[in-house]
Amino acid sequence: MSTIPSVHINDKSPIEEHHQHDSTSTSPTTRKSLHQNIFGKLRPLPFQYHWTVWYDRHTDAPAASTATATADYDSRLYVLHEDVADIATFYRVYNNYPWDKIRLRDTVHIFRKGVRPVWEDPENRNGGCWRFRVPKSKAQAFFHEIAILCMANEFQAVLEKEHDHVLGVSTSVRFNSHLISVWNKLGSNDRSIKALEKTIIDRLSPELRPTGTGSTAYFYKRHDENDGFKEAVERSKT
């Protein structure tokens, strides 16, 4: 059995390193502005919600039974870091994770602490996600911005009046792209879904914004529209 890429955290200050990087970086001003705006809000305070980083190892092996399927999926999920409570902890994890070592079809999730990154989790059952197919050349920058916006409550703020919640984000490696997802709790609330889409597109750096066509296509899908959803929910009840 192959090992999964793990996190090796050092004692350097990730925020200080990030600001030093920004001061000499040739990245667009818009991206600097996004980071500075988020840092300005978060440096003195913890996140409103705590987050857990998960690794999901893909397997093509069929399960022989319901019990085996449940045990098999549990064996695929690993906690990389259990409690990301503030921006400094996030960057200790993010800056020290070997993102280039993630295997094809494996996934890294960042989810609210206490919510498992599976359809059948009680918080997820009635939800869905926006899925973005992002070219490999832009995928890491895209996921970085999506993760920051999610944990900083930039997405959650626009869903409050709909009583909806953004529960997590995921990045899954494909052959020439990544599938990057933003999960929300209410998959039947069209106003919430549209508001989340608009906020994602508006807040991303211009060079990362998807067009919705071709190699940068994106779409929304409820979890109960996926093959295997009903079986997964039934397994979770046993």
* Percent share of the chain, pLDDT over 90: 67
78: left (phi over 0), alpha (psi -120 to 50) or beta: beta
Q: Which of 10-24, 29-43, 148-162 has the lowest mean pLDDT?
A: 10-24
Q: Pick the most confident of 5-14, 126-135, 212-221.
A: 126-135
CA-only gyration radius of the chain, Å: 18
191-201 mean pLDDT: 97
Residue 34 has pLDDT above 70, yes or no: no
Q: How is the chain split into domains, by residue range?
A: 40-234
Helices (H) and strands (E) in the chain, counts: 8, 7
| 161, pLDDT greater than 90 | yes
156 or 35, greater pLDDT: 156
Mean pLDDT of 140-169: 97
Residue recorded with tokens 């001061």: 23
Please report the pLDDT score of residue 176 as a whole number: 93
Q: CA-CA distance, 100 to 130, in Å (whole number)?
A: 24
Q: Tell me phi and psi for residue 44, to 5 degrees.
A: -80, -15
The token duo for 152 is 């900083």
- Biggest CA–CA distance in the chain, Å, is 56
Q: What is the pLDDT of residues 145-159, one digit of tens each?
A: 999 999 999 999 999
**Distance between CA atoms of residues 156 and 67, nearest Å:** 36
Higher-pLDDT residue of 38 and 135 is: 135
Q: Tell me, what amino acid is at 225?
A: E
What CA–CA distance (Å, rounded) separates 223 from 35?
31
The CATH number for 40-234, chosen from 3.30.760.10, 3.40.50.300, 3.40.50.10470, 3.30.565.10, is 3.30.760.10
pTM: 0.82
